[in-house]
Amino acid sequence: MDMKQLIEKFPAQMREAMTIGETFKATSWPHEIKNVLVTGLGGSGIGGTIVSQLCEKEMPIPFLVNKDYFMPSFVNKHSLVVVSSYSGNTEETLQAMDNAIKQGAKVVCVSSGGKTVELAKQHGLDYILIPGGMPPRSCYGYSSTQLFYILHAFKLIGDTFKSSLKKAIELIESESQHIKTASHKLASDLIGKIPVIYSASNNEGVVIRFRQQVQENGKMLCWHHVFPELTHNELVGWTQPHNDIAVVLFRDKDDFFRTSKRMDICKEIFGRYTPHIYEVWSKGGSPIEKAIYLIHFGDWTSWYLSEIRNIDCTEVKVIDYLKSEMAKLN
């Protein structure tokens, strides 16, 4: 199945992911959970970043994301650590998992197999098995959806996420043609330019996902930043014409009004230095719906970039080379 087909099937993937999540039953844990940490990288880890932001107003305890070989020292028996590795063989995540076990955390794994599931079985850990054999970045729905179910299993969030996910699926299905048309237009406008992606800070996870997709699928360099932080530093960098830069603003009508005003003012400032400024407005009635809409829009944009540029969006030879060189250290 190629990347276009995988993106087409994203709504179906979400439905299947919910079915998988409904079967998860956490084993008992004698200690109070006082913090949550998701450890994972790339397409496997971005779900942690996005879900942490979507749940921050409901979660009664801190929810952090780890993207390294190590566990923070605070991780202990009062920590719920979710190990997210689609392949099950990500070396950084495996070492972090080992550290989490040694530090006494409650560990739950989300993976399609590999060493992660082997270790989970060996140590008697909870794990959720998701379908394998696809690029990790194409399986956001499988990986991220399980995080909601894990949090719910530990009574850290309610069950309203279920109806929001269902509505999000219906939304992207009903908006399918519009999303394809608008994302193709955006992709066409981004050809030959360096995308600079901005959003309000509460949408940073979604923007990071888009950046990663542009980089992996589109094989293009780009960067991102968020409001209001960028207005205290990066804004000062806009001092000369940059015809090769295209600003993409991910926006939401429910953005905090002062943040929204900053975005309007900065849009005018950016316009002094580049004519290439584009806005993508979210759709949906809940933060989950809006996030899923923007994620799907971004995924299509990244695929159209690869199609227009006539490149293989699934090719990751440079990462394979890096892994082969790192393997020499063992």
Tell me the pLDDT tens digit for each residue of 224-264: 999 999 999 999 999 999 999 999 999 999 999 999 999 99
| pLDDT of 39 above 80 | yes
Distance CA 180, CA 224 (A): 23
Are 313 and 306 spatial neighbours (Cβ–Cβ below 8 Å)? Answer: yes
| pLDDT of 77 above 90 | yes
| pLDDT of 190 above 90 | yes
| pLDDT of 330 above 80 | no
pLDDT-derived band at 40 (thresholds 50, 70, 90) equals very high
Task: Cite the active site residues.
Answer: 216, 232, 323
Contacts of 319 (CB under 8 A, 6+ apart): none
pLDDT-derived band at 1 (thresholds 50, 70, 90) equals confident
Question: Which domains are assigned to the chain?
Answer: 3-158 (3.40.50.10490), 179-308 (3.40.50.10490)
Distance CA 48, CA 251 (A): 21
Tell me the pLDDT tens digit for each residue of 163-184: 999 999 999 999 999 999 999 9
Tell me the pLDDT tens digit for each residue of 50-75: 999 999 999 999 999 999 999 999 99
pTM score above 0.85: yes
Distance CA 195, CA 93 (A): 29
Three-class DSSP labels, 53-78: HHHCCCCCCCEEEECCCCCCCCCCCC
Tell me the pLDDT tens digit for each residue of 278-325: 999 999 999 999 999 999 999 999 999 999 999 999 999 999 999 999
